[in-house]
Amino acid sequence: MFTTFREVIGYIEKETIQAVDLKFCDLFGTWHHITLPTKAFNQQILEEGVGFDASSTPGFKSIEAGDMVLLPDLTTGFRDPFWDLPTLSFLCHIAEADTRRRFHRDPRFIAQQSEAYLEKTGIADESCWGPEFEYYIFDRVDFRNDPYYTYLKIESEEAIWSNYLNSSPHFGYQIADHHGYHAIPPQDVLYNIRAATVKAMEECGIAVRYHHHEVGASGQVEIEVQTGSLTRMADVVMLTKYIAKMVARRFGKTATFMPKPLYREAGSGMHFHQHLFKNGKPLFYDRKGYGGLSKTALAYIAGLLKHAPALTALTNPSTNSYRRLVPGYEAPVNLFFSLANRSSAVRIPKYATRPAEKRIELRTPDATCNPYLAMAGMLLAGLDGIQRKLDISKEGFGPYDVNLFAKENGKIRQSITAVPDALDKALENLRHQHSFLTTNGIFPEDLIETYVQEKYTKEYLENRNRPTPFEFQLYYGV
């Protein structure tokens, strides 16, 4: 939005901005912020930054060396639509407090380094990305996790089971399970929320393609955005999740990007469309290739699928991720590619026929990922495939133009590698097979070590060690 401090000051004066909000991302994909009155925002802050305690930020620093600074990235400025006081927001670089050197664990820095590395390889000078946002909007969510009292209760006006809840209005327009795809009002009660979300996104500088109701009958929706560069679209992921949650709250509802909030209902992924360009020329297009793909594209896909067992720890980094990655819900559990096949891990969109549109779609990721790390990891995996000239057919990744979930295709399914079926397995793959991330110094070794350790101890083990209500149903009377 801005390129100079003078432009920022001019905007602040013109719009009577009263606060400047500085947002930054921790190692695991959560935003944090510090807010300044506009009188405290000056040129010195751009050079010296605003101090914060990085030891209290997940995955960053130890308590004895916690001081770091935030340096606002002026190009990311936007008017925050949710503050009562007129507020201008910036995303920030994270830097060492004394030297002002960029912090090697800053996820946004890693994303920017991956883009610089792309140019350095000479393979391409631009990568273009388009995430899809699937999420649920519920009326109310209650949960409790005491050792002696555990429960979960979700309310959704759209769901067929809302007929049994006195707190929800009963108009008879509930959506049958798994029949929410492109539902229309009055069944679709969320269209105004989506429209308001898109309006807020556009006001914040995000170009939107469309929005619609998704398969999940209990409030699942989708918003798809226009493509852009890697770091920019990782910024868009963070901003879109923020906007979606805040707009839902304005409407008295709650939004979640959990991959699998409801048992036996469709899960929410975050598919990533991606392709490469050099000097403006699309590198993934070849009219004679399978699905219109070039050899470069096929090698890129082979790299993605080759490294998928480790990459999944970045793209699907929650225990809940693996409740979505199960057969039967269009979940991409099998590592192969195909044209227009929604059971494949990598799909080639059939409608993208023009050279500049020719791209691939990785369908495994979900929105619990840190988008900066996940997208950098995807790019590095694909580039590794190109550099090693991987032959996708010899690697056993297809193409397979069949529905692998169909019974008659069981033998084919058994011959194809599947994604890890639990977080601990994905983390173990990342621990031992991450050279494609670290060889060129983009992902620091200590980041991988911290990431794996924190995810394993604070998420996987904490989840594994807790009895669930379903276990009581199964075993209490044994």
Which pLDDT score, from 0 to 100, does residue 25 have?
Answer: 96
Give yes or no: 134 in active site.
Answer: yes
SS3 261: coil
Q: Give a yes or no: residue 114 inside a domain.
A: no
Q: Is residue 375 part of a domain?
A: yes
pLDDT at 39: 94
What's the pTM value of the predicted model, to 2 decimals?
Answer: 0.95
Residue 51: CATH number of its domain: 3.10.20.70
Average pLDDT over residues 224-232: 97
Which entry of 106, 126, 214, 366 is annotated as an active-site residue?
214
Question: What tens digit of pLDDT does each residue of 409-438 get?
Answer: 777 777 888 899 999 999 999 999 999 999
Are residues 69 and 143 both part of a single domain? no
Q: Strand, helix or coil at 117?
A: helix
Angle between helices 423-432 and 308-315 (to 10 degrees): 120
Q: Is 27 a member of any domain?
A: yes
Tell me: do 204 and 73 sit in the same domain. no
Q: What is the pLDDT of residues 463-476, one digit of tens each?
A: 999 999 999 999 99
Does residue 358 have a pLDDT over 90?
yes
Write down the catalytic residue from 53, 67, 203, 391.
53
Residue 210: which residues within 8 A CB-CB, separation 6 or more?
223, 224
Residue 230: band (very low, low, confident or very high) from pLDDT cuts 50, 70, 90: very high
Tens digit of pLDDT for each residue in 324-349?
A: 998 766 778 889 999 867 778 999 99
- Shared domain for 178 and 220, answered yes or no, is yes
Provide the H-helix boundaries in 88-190: 107-121
Q: 113 Cβ partners below 8 Å, 6+ apart?
A: 376, 441, 442
Q: State yes or no: pLDDT of 29 exceeds 80.
A: yes
- Say how far apart CA 412 and CA 9 lie, in whole Å: 62
Domain closes at, from 88, 103, 118: 103
Active site residue 214: yes
Q: Which domain holds residue 205?
A: 126-475
The reply to whether 361 belongs to the active site is yes
Do residues 134 and 22 both lie within one domain?
no
The rounded distance, in Å, linking the Cα atoms of 368 and 346 is: 19
pLDDT of residue 169: 62
Give the tokens for residue 361: 């779609």
Token readout for 70 is 């935030």
Tell me, what CATH number does 160's domain have?
3.30.590.10
Is there a catalytic annotation at residue 395?
Answer: no
Q: Are residues 158 and 297 in the same domain?
A: yes
Same domain, 168 and 35: no
449 is known as an active-site residue: no
- Residue 391 domain-assigned? yes
Over 60: is that where the pLDDT of 63 sits?
A: no
**Any domain includes 112:** no
For residue 3, what are its two tokens?
């390129």
Among 108, 194, 271, 307, the active-site one is: 271
Q: Which amino acid is at 200?
A: A
d(CA 71, CA 48) in angstroms, rounded, equals: 7
85 and 146 fall within a common domain: no
Question: What is the rounded radius of gyration, in angstroms, for the C-alpha atoms of the chain?
Answer: 23
Which one of 361, 366, 424, 459 is the catalytic residue? 361
The contacts of residue 96 (CB under 8 Å, 6+ apart) are: 68, 69, 103
Does 36 share its domain with 148?
Answer: no
The reply to whether 120 falls in a domain is: no
Q: Is 105 a catalytic residue?
A: no
What average pLDDT does the segment 123-142 reach? Answer: 97
- Asked if 253 and 187 sit in the same domain, the reply is yes
Are residues 46 and 181 located together in one domain of the fold? Answer: no
In a domain, 233, yes or no: yes
Give the per-residue pLDDT at 65. 65
In this predicted model, what pLDDT tens digit does every residue of 159-217 receive, in sequence order? 888 777 666 566 778 888 888 899 999 999 999 999 999 999 999 999 999 999 999 99
Q: pLDDT digit string (tens) for 271-308?
A: 999 999 999 999 999 999 999 999 999 999 999 999 99
Residues 73 and 182 both lie in one domain? no
Query: How many independent structural domains does the chain possess?
Result: 2
The catalytic residue among 105, 194, 211, 363 is 363
Please indicate whether residue 222 is annotated as part of the active site: yes
Domain identity same for 193 and 341? yes
Q: Find tokens 């606002």 and name the residue.
A: 72
Catalytic residue among 33, 140, 323, 342: 342
> Does position 350 have pLDDT exceeding 80, yes or no?
yes
pLDDT for 408 equals: 80
In a domain, 113, yes or no: no
